[in-house]
Chain A
Protein backbone atom coordinates (compact mmCIF):
# COMPACT_ATOMS: atom_id res chain seq x y z
CA UNK A 1 0.00 0.00 0.00
CA UNK A 2 2.84 2.37 0.96
CA UNK A 3 4.45 1.71 -2.43
CA UNK A 4 1.33 2.87 -4.28
CA UNK A 5 1.04 5.98 -2.08
CA UNK A 6 4.67 6.88 -2.78
CA UNK A 7 4.27 6.14 -6.48
CA UNK A 8 1.14 8.29 -6.62
CA UNK A 9 2.95 11.17 -4.92
CA UNK A 10 5.85 10.74 -7.34
CA UNK A 11 3.50 10.97 -10.32
CA UNK A 12 1.77 14.02 -8.82
CA UNK A 13 5.14 15.71 -8.30
CA UNK A 14 6.00 15.09 -11.95
CA UNK A 15 2.57 16.28 -13.08
CA UNK A 16 3.02 19.49 -11.06
CA UNK A 17 6.08 20.41 -13.13
CA UNK A 18 4.08 21.09 -16.24
CA UNK A 19 2.92 24.68 -16.17
CA UNK A 20 3.69 27.85 -18.08
CA UNK A 21 7.01 29.28 -16.87
CA UNK A 22 6.72 32.60 -15.03
CA UNK A 23 9.79 33.85 -16.89
CA UNK A 24 11.27 31.68 -19.65
CA UNK A 25 14.63 33.43 -19.41
CA UNK A 26 15.06 32.48 -15.76
CA UNK A 27 14.13 28.87 -16.48
CA UNK A 28 16.65 28.77 -19.33
CA UNK A 29 19.32 30.23 -17.04
CA UNK A 30 18.58 27.56 -14.44
CA UNK A 31 18.61 24.84 -17.12
CA UNK A 32 22.03 25.96 -18.37
CA UNK A 33 23.30 26.13 -14.80
CA UNK A 34 22.14 22.57 -14.18
CA UNK A 35 23.67 21.38 -17.47
CA UNK A 36 26.99 22.75 -16.30
CA UNK A 37 26.59 21.35 -12.76
CA UNK A 38 25.60 17.87 -13.91
CA UNK A 39 27.69 17.69 -17.08
CA UNK A 40 30.93 19.44 -16.23
CA UNK A 41 30.63 18.45 -12.58
CA UNK A 42 30.52 14.74 -13.39
CA UNK A 43 32.90 14.70 -16.34
CA UNK A 44 36.00 13.94 -14.27
CA UNK A 45 34.62 10.90 -12.48
CA UNK A 46 32.97 9.61 -15.67
CA UNK A 47 36.30 9.89 -17.55
CA UNK A 48 38.28 8.08 -14.86
CA UNK A 49 35.72 5.27 -14.50
CA UNK A 50 35.37 4.83 -18.26
CA UNK A 51 39.09 4.63 -19.02
CA UNK A 52 39.74 2.05 -16.31
CA UNK A 53 36.58 0.16 -17.17
CA UNK A 54 37.74 -0.22 -20.77
CA UNK A 55 41.27 -1.08 -19.74
CA UNK A 56 40.16 -3.77 -17.30
CA UNK A 57 37.74 -5.17 -19.90
CA UNK A 58 40.59 -5.63 -22.35
CA UNK A 59 42.81 -7.36 -19.80
CA UNK A 60 40.09 -9.66 -18.50
CA UNK A 61 38.80 -10.55 -21.97
CA UNK A 62 42.34 -11.39 -23.09
CA UNK A 63 42.77 -13.50 -19.94
CA UNK A 64 39.64 -15.50 -20.75
CA UNK A 65 40.27 -15.95 -24.49
CA UNK A 66 42.90 -18.67 -24.36
CA UNK A 67 42.08 -20.51 -27.59
CA UNK A 68 44.64 -19.90 -30.35
CA UNK A 69 41.81 -20.28 -32.86
CA UNK A 70 40.22 -16.99 -31.82
CA UNK A 71 41.88 -13.96 -33.42
CA UNK A 72 43.16 -11.27 -31.06
CA UNK A 73 41.02 -8.63 -32.73
CA UNK A 74 38.01 -10.36 -31.15
CA UNK A 75 39.14 -8.85 -27.83
CA UNK A 76 38.53 -5.35 -29.22
CA UNK A 77 35.17 -6.45 -30.56
CA UNK A 78 34.12 -7.80 -27.18
CA UNK A 79 35.40 -4.74 -25.36
CA UNK A 80 33.55 -2.44 -27.79
CA UNK A 81 30.23 -4.23 -27.41
CA UNK A 82 30.51 -4.66 -23.65
CA UNK A 83 31.34 -1.00 -23.16
CA UNK A 84 28.62 0.27 -25.50
CA UNK A 85 25.89 -2.14 -24.48
CA UNK A 86 26.38 -2.37 -20.75
CA UNK A 87 29.31 -0.76 -19.06
CA UNK A 88 28.94 2.82 -20.24
CA UNK A 89 25.19 3.24 -19.88
CA UNK A 90 24.59 1.12 -16.78
CA UNK A 91 27.77 1.37 -14.74
CA UNK A 92 28.24 5.07 -15.39
CA UNK A 93 24.58 5.80 -14.62
CA UNK A 94 24.85 3.90 -11.33
CA UNK A 95 27.83 6.07 -10.44
CA UNK A 96 25.92 9.16 -11.59
CA UNK A 97 22.97 8.10 -9.43
CA UNK A 98 25.33 8.60 -6.51
CA UNK A 99 27.02 11.76 -7.75
CA UNK A 100 24.10 13.61 -9.35
CA UNK A 101 21.27 11.96 -7.42
CA UNK A 102 22.59 12.72 -3.95
CA UNK A 103 23.36 16.29 -5.02
CA UNK A 104 19.83 16.87 -6.33
CA UNK A 105 18.20 15.27 -3.27
CA UNK A 106 20.31 17.11 -0.71
CA UNK A 107 20.04 20.46 -2.52
CA UNK A 108 16.25 20.29 -2.73
CA UNK A 109 16.00 18.81 0.77
CA UNK A 110 18.02 21.65 2.21
CA UNK A 111 15.90 24.18 0.33
CA UNK A 112 12.75 22.57 1.72
CA UNK A 113 13.98 22.44 5.31
CA UNK A 114 15.29 26.03 5.28
CA UNK A 115 11.95 27.25 3.83
CA UNK A 116 13.56 28.43 0.58
CA UNK A 117 10.97 26.43 -1.39
CA UNK A 118 8.17 28.08 0.63
CA UNK A 119 9.74 31.48 -0.11
CA UNK A 120 9.67 30.75 -3.85
CA UNK A 121 6.12 29.42 -3.58
CA UNK A 122 4.94 32.61 -1.87
CA UNK A 123 6.54 34.72 -4.59
CA UNK A 124 4.12 33.00 -6.97
CA UNK A 125 6.60 30.62 -8.56
CA UNK A 126 5.67 27.03 -9.39
CA UNK A 127 8.52 25.46 -7.43
CA UNK A 128 8.10 22.00 -8.94
CA UNK A 129 8.45 23.54 -12.34
CA UNK A 130 11.30 25.93 -11.49
CA UNK A 131 13.34 23.60 -9.31
CA UNK A 132 12.72 20.11 -10.71
CA UNK A 133 12.10 20.63 -14.42
CA UNK A 134 15.50 22.24 -15.25
CA UNK A 135 17.31 19.47 -13.35
CA UNK A 136 15.33 16.79 -15.15
CA UNK A 137 15.79 18.35 -18.58
CA UNK A 138 19.47 19.02 -17.98
CA UNK A 139 19.97 15.38 -16.96
CA UNK A 140 18.12 14.12 -20.01
CA UNK A 141 20.25 16.32 -22.27
CA UNK A 142 23.63 15.93 -20.58
CA UNK A 143 23.72 12.34 -19.30
CA UNK A 144 23.41 10.71 -22.77
CA UNK A 145 26.30 12.97 -23.83
CA UNK A 146 28.30 11.73 -20.86
CA UNK A 147 27.47 8.15 -21.85
CA UNK A 148 28.76 8.74 -25.40
CA UNK A 149 31.95 10.30 -23.99
CA UNK A 150 32.23 7.39 -21.57
CA UNK A 151 31.92 4.83 -24.37
CA UNK A 152 34.59 6.57 -26.44
CA UNK A 153 36.93 6.85 -23.46
CA UNK A 154 36.22 3.26 -22.41
CA UNK A 155 37.17 1.91 -25.81
CA UNK A 156 40.22 4.16 -25.91
CA UNK A 157 41.21 2.97 -22.43
CA UNK A 158 40.93 -0.63 -23.65
CA UNK A 159 43.09 0.15 -26.68
CA UNK A 160 45.75 1.82 -24.55
CA UNK A 161 45.76 -1.05 -22.02
CA UNK A 162 45.99 -3.62 -24.82
CA UNK A 163 48.94 -1.79 -26.37
CA UNK A 164 50.78 -1.09 -23.12
CA UNK A 165 50.56 -4.68 -21.93
CA UNK A 166 51.42 -6.04 -25.36
CA UNK A 167 48.23 -8.11 -25.55
CA UNK A 168 47.33 -6.78 -28.97
CA UNK A 169 48.63 -4.11 -31.30
CA UNK A 170 46.72 -0.88 -31.99
CA UNK A 171 46.14 -2.10 -35.53
CA UNK A 172 44.62 -5.37 -34.32
CA UNK A 173 42.45 -3.45 -31.86
CA UNK A 174 41.26 -1.06 -34.57
CA UNK A 175 40.51 -4.01 -36.85
CA UNK A 176 38.44 -5.60 -34.09
CA UNK A 177 36.55 -2.39 -33.51
CA UNK A 178 35.29 -2.42 -37.09
CA UNK A 179 34.28 -6.10 -37.06
CA UNK A 180 30.54 -6.80 -37.03
CA UNK A 181 29.70 -3.35 -35.71
CA UNK A 182 25.95 -2.90 -35.28
CA UNK A 183 24.80 0.76 -35.14
CA UNK A 184 21.69 -0.53 -33.36
CA UNK A 185 23.87 -1.08 -30.29
CA UNK A 186 24.47 2.65 -30.07
CA UNK A 187 20.74 3.26 -30.34
CA UNK A 188 20.21 0.73 -27.55
CA UNK A 189 22.85 2.42 -25.38
CA UNK A 190 21.25 5.82 -25.93
CA UNK A 191 17.77 4.43 -25.17
CA UNK A 192 19.16 3.18 -21.88
CA UNK A 193 20.95 6.47 -21.25
CA UNK A 194 17.76 8.54 -21.68
CA UNK A 195 15.76 6.18 -19.46
CA UNK A 196 18.41 6.10 -16.74
CA UNK A 197 18.85 9.88 -16.94
CA UNK A 198 15.16 10.30 -16.21
CA UNK A 199 15.35 7.86 -13.29
CA UNK A 200 18.47 9.29 -11.66
CA UNK A 201 17.14 12.84 -11.75
CA UNK A 202 13.43 12.44 -11.05
CA UNK A 203 13.72 10.01 -8.11
CA UNK A 204 16.18 12.17 -6.10
CA UNK A 205 14.18 15.28 -7.00
CA UNK A 206 11.04 13.63 -5.62
CA UNK A 207 12.70 12.56 -2.37
CA UNK A 208 14.52 15.87 -1.94
CA UNK A 209 11.51 18.03 -2.71
CA UNK A 210 9.31 16.18 -0.22
CA UNK A 211 11.73 16.09 2.71
CA UNK A 212 10.12 16.82 6.07
CA UNK A 213 12.20 17.44 9.14
CA UNK A 214 15.83 18.46 9.46
CA UNK A 215 19.40 17.54 8.60
CA UNK A 216 18.90 13.88 9.48
CA UNK A 217 15.96 13.58 7.10
CA UNK A 218 17.93 15.26 4.30
CA UNK A 219 20.64 12.60 4.72
CA UNK A 220 18.04 9.84 4.78
CA UNK A 221 16.30 11.20 1.67
CA UNK A 222 19.62 11.45 -0.12
CA UNK A 223 20.59 7.86 0.72
CA UNK A 224 17.13 6.53 -0.09
CA UNK A 225 17.05 8.34 -3.42
CA UNK A 226 20.41 6.84 -4.44
CA UNK A 227 19.37 3.32 -3.39
CA UNK A 228 15.99 3.52 -5.14
CA UNK A 229 17.57 5.05 -8.26
CA UNK A 230 20.20 2.29 -8.47
CA UNK A 231 17.62 -0.47 -8.06
CA UNK A 232 15.37 1.14 -10.68
CA UNK A 233 18.32 1.57 -13.07
CA UNK A 234 19.09 -2.15 -12.78
CA UNK A 235 15.43 -3.05 -13.17
CA UNK A 236 15.06 -0.79 -16.22
CA UNK A 237 18.30 -2.23 -17.61
CA UNK A 238 16.82 -5.72 -17.53
CA UNK A 239 13.50 -4.54 -18.92
CA UNK A 240 15.06 -2.63 -21.82
CA UNK A 241 17.41 -5.51 -22.63
CA UNK A 242 14.54 -7.95 -22.77
CA UNK A 243 12.42 -5.63 -24.92
CA UNK A 244 15.00 -4.10 -27.26
CA UNK A 245 17.52 -6.92 -27.77
Chain B
Protein backbone atom coordinates (compact mmCIF):
# COMPACT_ATOMS: atom_id res chain seq x y z
CA UNK B 1 0.00 0.00 0.00
CA UNK B 2 1.20 3.48 -0.82
CA UNK B 3 -0.12 6.42 1.10
CA UNK B 4 0.40 10.03 0.08
CA UNK B 5 -0.35 12.80 2.51
CA UNK B 6 -0.76 16.47 1.62
CA UNK B 7 1.67 16.43 -1.30
CA UNK B 8 2.59 19.82 -2.71
CA UNK B 9 4.91 20.42 -5.61
CA UNK B 10 5.64 23.52 -7.64
CA UNK B 11 8.15 24.79 -10.16
CA UNK B 12 9.04 28.42 -9.60
CA UNK B 13 5.82 30.33 -9.00
CA UNK B 14 3.63 27.62 -10.51
CA UNK B 15 2.01 25.10 -8.18
CA UNK B 16 1.60 21.82 -10.04
CA UNK B 17 0.31 19.63 -7.20
CA UNK B 18 -1.64 21.23 -4.41
CA UNK B 19 -2.26 19.34 -1.19
CA UNK B 20 -3.13 15.92 -2.61
CA UNK B 21 -3.71 12.95 -0.31
CA UNK B 22 -4.64 9.42 -1.35
CA UNK B 23 -4.18 5.74 -0.61
CA UNK B 24 -3.16 3.28 -3.33
CA UNK B 25 -4.20 -0.24 -2.34
CA UNK B 26 -2.19 -3.43 -2.84
CA UNK B 27 -3.46 -5.88 -5.46
CA UNK B 28 -5.45 -3.16 -7.19
CA UNK B 29 -4.96 -0.98 -10.24
CA UNK B 30 -4.90 2.56 -8.93
CA UNK B 31 -5.42 5.08 -11.71
CA UNK B 32 -4.46 8.72 -11.71
CA UNK B 33 -6.44 10.44 -14.43
CA UNK B 34 -6.70 14.00 -15.64
CA UNK B 35 -6.22 16.25 -18.61
CA UNK B 36 -2.76 17.03 -19.96
CA UNK B 37 -1.06 19.42 -17.55
CA UNK B 38 -3.13 18.32 -14.57
CA UNK B 39 -0.05 17.12 -12.70
CA UNK B 40 -0.34 13.34 -13.18
CA UNK B 41 3.23 12.78 -14.36
CA UNK B 42 4.65 15.12 -11.73
CA UNK B 43 2.67 13.22 -9.12
CA UNK B 44 4.08 9.91 -10.36
CA UNK B 45 7.61 11.29 -10.45
CA UNK B 46 7.14 12.49 -6.86
CA UNK B 47 5.92 9.01 -5.89
CA UNK B 48 9.02 7.29 -7.27
CA UNK B 49 11.39 9.98 -6.06
CA UNK B 50 12.41 11.48 -9.40
CA UNK B 51 11.00 14.77 -8.07
CA UNK B 52 11.17 15.84 -4.47
CA UNK B 53 7.78 17.13 -3.18
CA UNK B 54 7.90 20.59 -1.59
CA UNK B 55 5.89 19.25 1.33
CA UNK B 56 3.87 16.21 2.33
CA UNK B 57 4.69 12.58 2.88
CA UNK B 58 4.85 9.43 0.79
CA UNK B 59 4.58 6.21 2.76
CA UNK B 60 5.37 2.80 1.25
CA UNK B 61 3.89 0.10 3.51
CA UNK B 62 4.66 2.08 6.63
CA UNK B 63 8.08 3.29 5.46
CA UNK B 64 8.24 7.05 5.04
CA UNK B 65 9.86 7.57 1.63
CA UNK B 66 10.20 11.31 2.18
CA UNK B 67 12.41 10.78 5.22
CA UNK B 68 14.60 8.00 3.79
CA UNK B 69 18.27 8.58 3.09
CA UNK B 70 19.76 7.79 -0.32
CA UNK B 71 20.80 4.25 0.63
CA UNK B 72 17.35 3.33 1.97
CA UNK B 73 15.74 4.79 -1.12
CA UNK B 74 18.04 2.72 -3.34
CA UNK B 75 16.98 -0.40 -1.44
CA UNK B 76 13.29 0.44 -1.72
CA UNK B 77 13.63 1.24 -5.41
CA UNK B 78 14.67 -2.33 -6.06
CA UNK B 79 11.11 -3.27 -5.17
CA UNK B 80 9.71 -0.71 -7.61
CA UNK B 81 9.09 -1.37 -11.28
CA UNK B 82 8.17 1.34 -13.72
CA UNK B 83 6.82 1.37 -17.23
CA UNK B 84 7.58 4.65 -18.96
CA UNK B 85 5.47 6.45 -21.52
CA UNK B 86 8.12 5.91 -24.21
CA UNK B 87 9.10 2.51 -22.74
CA UNK B 88 12.63 3.84 -21.95
CA UNK B 89 14.34 0.69 -23.19
CA UNK B 90 18.12 0.81 -23.51
CA UNK B 91 18.74 1.30 -27.25
CA UNK B 92 22.10 -0.44 -27.31
CA UNK B 93 20.78 -3.63 -25.71
CA UNK B 94 18.64 -6.41 -27.11
CA UNK B 95 15.24 -7.23 -25.61
CA UNK B 96 16.85 -10.02 -23.60
CA UNK B 97 19.65 -7.79 -22.31
CA UNK B 98 17.14 -5.07 -21.41
CA UNK B 99 15.08 -7.45 -19.29
CA UNK B 100 18.19 -9.09 -17.82
CA UNK B 101 19.75 -5.76 -16.83
CA UNK B 102 18.10 -5.47 -13.37
CA UNK B 103 19.06 -9.11 -12.69
CA UNK B 104 22.66 -8.43 -13.73
CA UNK B 105 22.80 -5.39 -11.50
CA UNK B 106 21.08 -6.66 -8.38
CA UNK B 107 21.38 -10.42 -8.23
CA UNK B 108 24.24 -12.87 -8.05
CA UNK B 109 22.38 -15.49 -10.08
CA UNK B 110 24.21 -17.49 -12.72
CA UNK B 111 23.63 -16.71 -16.39
CA UNK B 112 21.34 -19.75 -16.98
CA UNK B 113 19.23 -18.77 -13.95
CA UNK B 114 18.94 -15.21 -15.19
CA UNK B 115 18.08 -16.36 -18.70
CA UNK B 116 15.38 -18.65 -17.30
CA UNK B 117 13.83 -15.77 -15.39
CA UNK B 118 14.02 -13.50 -18.45
CA UNK B 119 12.24 -16.09 -20.58
CA UNK B 120 9.63 -16.55 -17.86
CA UNK B 121 8.71 -12.86 -17.77
CA UNK B 122 8.88 -12.50 -21.54
CA UNK B 123 6.48 -15.44 -21.78
CA UNK B 124 4.30 -13.78 -19.16
CA UNK B 125 3.93 -10.67 -21.32
CA UNK B 126 3.31 -12.87 -24.38
CA UNK B 127 6.54 -11.91 -26.08
CA UNK B 128 8.24 -14.76 -27.84
CA UNK B 129 11.00 -14.90 -30.46
CA UNK B 130 12.00 -11.30 -29.77
CA UNK B 131 14.88 -11.98 -27.37
CA UNK B 132 17.64 -11.05 -29.79
CA UNK B 133 15.91 -8.04 -31.32
CA UNK B 134 16.86 -4.45 -30.57
CA UNK B 135 14.22 -1.93 -29.41
CA UNK B 136 14.41 -0.19 -32.80
CA UNK B 137 13.31 -3.43 -34.47
CA UNK B 138 10.08 -4.01 -32.51
CA UNK B 139 6.67 -2.32 -32.51
CA UNK B 140 5.34 0.15 -29.93
CA UNK B 141 3.14 -2.47 -28.29
CA UNK B 142 6.05 -4.91 -28.06
CA UNK B 143 8.23 -2.19 -26.53
CA UNK B 144 5.59 -1.63 -23.85
CA UNK B 145 5.52 -5.35 -23.13
CA UNK B 146 9.31 -5.45 -22.87
CA UNK B 147 9.03 -2.46 -20.52
CA UNK B 148 6.54 -4.37 -18.37
CA UNK B 149 8.76 -7.48 -18.44
CA UNK B 150 11.75 -5.42 -17.30
CA UNK B 151 9.64 -3.77 -14.60
CA UNK B 152 8.46 -7.09 -13.12
CA UNK B 153 11.63 -9.16 -13.54
CA UNK B 154 12.76 -8.52 -9.96
CA UNK B 155 9.29 -9.32 -8.55
CA UNK B 156 8.50 -5.76 -7.49
CA UNK B 157 6.02 -4.86 -4.78
CA UNK B 158 5.06 -1.65 -6.56
CA UNK B 159 4.45 -1.05 -10.24
CA UNK B 160 4.13 2.39 -11.81
CA UNK B 161 2.92 2.86 -15.36
CA UNK B 162 3.10 6.27 -16.98
CA UNK B 163 0.53 6.43 -19.77
CA UNK B 164 0.98 2.80 -20.83
CA UNK B 165 -1.40 3.20 -23.78
CA UNK B 166 -0.01 6.31 -25.37
CA UNK B 167 0.65 5.83 -29.05
CA UNK B 168 -1.00 2.41 -29.20
CA UNK B 169 -4.00 1.28 -31.20
CA UNK B 170 -7.19 0.50 -29.19
CA UNK B 171 -6.75 -3.27 -29.47
CA UNK B 172 -3.13 -3.25 -28.29
CA UNK B 173 -4.12 -0.79 -25.55
CA UNK B 174 -6.67 -3.24 -24.25
CA UNK B 175 -4.08 -6.04 -24.27
CA UNK B 176 -1.64 -3.89 -22.28
CA UNK B 177 -4.39 -2.92 -19.81
CA UNK B 178 -5.36 -6.57 -19.39
CA UNK B 179 -1.73 -7.51 -18.83
CA UNK B 180 -1.24 -4.82 -16.18
CA UNK B 181 -4.40 -5.93 -14.41
CA UNK B 182 -3.44 -9.62 -14.50
CA UNK B 183 0.07 -8.96 -13.23
CA UNK B 184 -1.26 -6.75 -10.43
CA UNK B 185 -3.58 -9.49 -9.18
CA UNK B 186 -1.18 -12.39 -9.85
CA UNK B 187 1.80 -10.90 -8.01
CA UNK B 188 -0.29 -8.88 -5.53
CA UNK B 189 1.41 -5.63 -6.53
CA UNK B 190 0.41 -2.07 -5.71
CA UNK B 191 -0.03 -0.67 -9.20
CA UNK B 192 -0.35 3.01 -9.99
CA UNK B 193 -1.24 3.94 -13.56
CA UNK B 194 -1.24 7.41 -15.10
CA UNK B 195 -3.67 7.57 -17.95
CA UNK B 196 -6.21 9.60 -19.84
CA UNK B 197 -7.43 6.61 -21.76
CA UNK B 198 -11.15 6.05 -21.29
CA UNK B 199 -10.87 2.32 -21.95
CA UNK B 200 -8.26 1.90 -19.22
CA UNK B 201 -10.46 3.78 -16.79
CA UNK B 202 -13.43 1.51 -17.41
CA UNK B 203 -11.46 -1.74 -17.77
CA UNK B 204 -8.90 -1.68 -14.98
CA UNK B 205 -9.77 1.24 -12.71
CA UNK B 206 -10.21 -0.43 -9.32
CA UNK B 207 -9.43 2.88 -7.71
CA UNK B 208 -9.43 6.12 -9.66
CA UNK B 209 -8.15 9.53 -8.64
CA UNK B 210 -9.11 12.41 -10.92
CA UNK B 211 -6.80 15.40 -10.84
CA UNK B 212 -7.73 18.84 -12.07
CA UNK B 213 -4.89 21.35 -12.28
CA UNK B 214 -2.98 19.89 -9.38
CA UNK B 215 -5.95 19.28 -7.10
CA UNK B 216 -7.65 15.96 -6.36
CA UNK B 217 -11.12 16.56 -7.75
CA UNK B 218 -12.71 13.12 -7.43
CA UNK B 219 -11.93 9.63 -6.14
CA UNK B 220 -13.75 6.34 -6.64
CA UNK B 221 -13.92 3.14 -8.68
CA UNK B 222 -14.79 2.46 -12.33
CA UNK B 223 -18.24 1.38 -11.16
CA UNK B 224 -18.82 4.67 -9.35
CA UNK B 225 -17.48 6.91 -12.08
CA UNK B 226 -20.61 6.37 -14.18
CA UNK B 227 -22.73 7.91 -11.44
CA UNK B 228 -20.39 10.75 -10.65
CA UNK B 229 -22.02 14.15 -10.54
CA UNK B 230 -18.72 15.95 -10.86
CA UNK B 231 -19.15 18.05 -13.97
CA UNK B 232 -15.42 18.42 -14.68
CA UNK B 233 -14.89 14.69 -14.39
CA UNK B 234 -17.85 13.98 -16.64
CA UNK B 235 -16.62 16.47 -19.22
CA UNK B 236 -13.21 14.81 -19.14
CA UNK B 237 -14.22 11.15 -19.17
CA UNK B 238 -17.32 11.31 -21.33
CA UNK B 239 -15.98 13.96 -23.63
CA UNK B 240 -17.61 12.79 -26.84
CA UNK B 241 -21.31 12.52 -27.58
CA UNK B 242 -20.85 8.80 -28.16
CA UNK B 243 -19.35 8.26 -24.71
CA UNK B 244 -22.02 10.45 -23.13
CA UNK B 245 -24.68 8.24 -24.75
CA UNK B 246 -22.86 5.12 -23.51
CA UNK B 247 -22.83 6.56 -20.01
CA UNK B 248 -26.56 7.37 -20.14
CA UNK B 249 -27.25 3.84 -21.36
CA UNK B 250 -25.22 2.32 -18.51
CA UNK B 251 -27.06 4.49 -15.98
CA UNK B 252 -30.42 3.42 -17.35
CA UNK B 253 -29.31 -0.20 -17.23
CA UNK B 254 -28.19 0.21 -13.63
CA UNK B 255 -31.52 1.78 -12.68
CA UNK B 256 -33.32 -1.12 -14.35
CA UNK B 257 -34.97 1.08 -16.96
CA UNK B 258 -33.37 -0.89 -19.77
CA UNK B 259 -33.19 -4.65 -19.92
CA UNK B 260 -29.57 -5.75 -19.47
CA UNK B 261 -30.19 -8.80 -21.62
CA UNK B 262 -31.88 -6.92 -24.42
CA UNK B 263 -31.40 -8.37 -27.88
CA UNK B 264 -29.56 -5.61 -29.76
CA UNK B 265 -30.07 -7.33 -33.11
CA UNK B 266 -33.79 -7.27 -32.51
CA UNK B 267 -33.73 -3.61 -31.54
CA UNK B 268 -31.70 -2.65 -34.59
CA UNK B 269 -34.16 -4.26 -37.01
Q: Which residues of A contact B (CB under 8 A)?
A: 19, 22-23, 26, 110, 114-116, 118-119, 121-126
Contact = CB atoms under 8 A, between A and B. Distances in A.
B50 A122 contact: yes
Contact of A115 (B86, B104, B105): B86
B106 A114 contact: no
A115 B49 CA distance: 14
Given A119-B82, A123-B106, 15 more contacts: A19-B70, A23-B104, A26-B104, A26-B105, A114-B88, A116-B90, A116-B91, A118-B82, A121-B77, A122-B160, A123-B102, A124-B73, A124-B75, A124-B76, A126-B74
Contacts of B78: 123-124
A115 B74 contact: no
| Residue of B75, B84, B105 contacting most chain A CB atoms (<10 Å) | B105
B90 A123 contact: no
Contacts of B70: 19
A119 B81 CA distance: 9
Nearest to A20: B71
B88 A124 contact: no
Contacts of B91: 110, 114, 116
B48 A114 contact: no
Contacts of A115: 84-86, 88
Most buried by A among B48, B74, B75, B85: B74
Interface in B86-104: 86, 88-91, 101-102, 104
Contacts of A19: 70
Contact of A122 (B80, B85, B101): B80
B88 A123 contact: no
Contacts of A23: 104-106
